[in-house]
Structure 1
């Protein structure tokens, strides 16, 4: 009887302890429920070039998963990577992959980040409607970007001094050469378009999604406020605008990547939204904004236009 009594007390004590622990967890105001791939709230940082696109992606994602809440902050690409490194954001959406310095840092702190190319993007050059120079070769573009072009006086306009568009031009076009001294930053992409529309000598550099019309059924319309410059690649024969097909086959020269970079210690909402961006539904939205989807099988067919 004594052994039976001790055994019953042990079972009783274990049950009481478990119940107490469950109640404590439920009533503890400091207990934090982890988000999942389709539920919870998360803040993300996004290159401001992609605001129209990501706003649409979030709207569709949250309609599919009503318990998910994605709160984006749109800012220059440099600031997005700072947010990822200092844990202000688990997910960022930008125009480049991690560089070697960033990968070495994550290895040092024993974290394995994830990244994926989601699409091919392009930068568009836009000029005033009254400007006759709406077709340029790449030698002319390089001259405009580093200030050595003497054909005419251009007012070069970017969205932000720390933006991904500035980085792309400095790295890929100028090869480290400085921008002209009269280069100006208009603060936002809409302000670039607005400034160019009012100044005949201005030429703006802007992400193609900002000047595309996602409601155009033919997927070829751009904004009517400015003219989009036709460009000819160094080895190209045709002057082309940044249409999806030309971005996809590489005949449009100002082409860049569109990535997500993720640092998440568990499969949470950051992983869920990143997966959605690479899914069929997410890629179709990307297609609507004139980027060339990297995760869809796209077949080019010749067509005779009569």
Structure 2
């Protein structure tokens, strides 16, 4: 069915391109050729890079200029027509939707996966389990030292490390714990998820907050290298967990089974107005083999890819 959808979209795109040539305008892109700008929060860099590269591998005439920006900036790029698609953790709000409505652009929103914000700590820090209640006290400013936590093994202050002042990681965590004022918190921001990882490696008192796809692809050498010498914290929704099994990490099964508390959706937002390259990529990701890449990166695809196996005697 997914291949049929792509084929139909390709035919429609080709017809649209031929029609546009007749009135002196440049041909429109279609699902198999053209060039568009894709914007995404930097926390999704491994995911977006692999998905767009795989699609271009199938269609060599399909080209994606991928731009990584903080989530709000990426969405703003799409609203002002500087990007065709956005990978984001939320849908458009009413004010943003109104901008497209004013221009009579219907657009599209497609949920493609469930992601998780991973909490990483230095290998020297053996306190790798934390509850949502404990995190709440940290973001309330009541808990400031590792020694105040149930399993705390050091007396140093807790440093919270994020990739950017306006990143989806920071926005998601602040919203989750209802933080209105960050001035009283010991928060340090870098310029990327990779720099968060480097910071945590050098600072045993830090907790880093990163997109899990940066460290969850066991087949990707960079992902394996980045995950070295780090601990991924287990997080529990229970107030008083009694055993290790009460804590969960942001990896595939626990995301899919909704056991990991700090999980979030991944959407593709589109402003496309014709059957174009953006729609082709969305179909590939949401309804075709793109879900295999999502699964390979440790996220939970919204629609698993159906693999047919023929058994013969």
Which category describes the TM-score, using the shorter chain as reference length?
A: 0.7 to 0.9
The answer for unaligned runs of 5 or more in structure 2 is 1-17, 147-156, 307-313
Query: Closer, same or farther in 2 for the Cα pair 1:191/1:150, shift >3 Å?
Result: closer
Matches of 2:104 and 2:119, distance apart in 1: 42
Matched, 1:244 2:248: no
Specify the alignment match of 1:11 in structure 2: none
Q: Are the equivalent residues in 2 in contact too, given 1:117–1:260 (CA < 8 A)?
A: yes
Q: Partner of 1:278: helix, strand, or coil? A: helix
Give the alignment of 1:22-61 within 5 angstroms.
31-61=25-55
Q: Are the equivalent residues in 1 in contact too, given 2:145–2:158 (CA < 8 A)?
A: no
Matches of 2:240 and 2:83, distance apart in 1: 41
Cα drift, residue 279 of structure 1: 2.4
Which residue among 92, 100, 104 is the counterpart of 1:98?
92
Which residue among 64, 84, 97 is the counterpart of 2:78?
84
Give the alignment of 1:1-306 within 5 angstroms.
31-152=25-146, 153-178=157-182, 180-215=184-219, 223-234=227-238, 238-296=246-304
Q: Which runs of 4+ in 1 moved over 3 A?
A: 234-237
The answer for unaligned runs of 5 or more in structure 1 is 1-21, 299-306
Q: TM-score, normalization: structure 1?
A: 0.82
Q: Partner of 1:212: helix, strand, or coil? A: coil
Q: Deviations over 1:78-108 (max 9, x none)?
A: 1111101111011111111112222233223
Q: Partner of 2:116: helix, strand, or coil? A: strand
Q: CA RMSD in A?
A: 2.5
Q: Are the equivalent residues in 2 in contact too, given 1:213–1:222 (CA < 8 A)?
A: no
Matches of 2:304 and 2:91, distance apart in 1: 20
Report how many aligned residue pairs link the two structures: 271
Q: Which structure is larger by alpha-carbon Rg, 1 or 2?
A: 1
Matches of 2:226 and 2:303, distance apart in 1: 24
Cα drift, residue 178 of structure 1: 2.8
Query: Closer, same or farther in 2 for the Cα pair 1:87/1:110, shift >3 Å?
Result: same
Matches of 1:86 and 1:253, distance apart in 2: 34
Cα drift, residue 144 of structure 1: 2.2
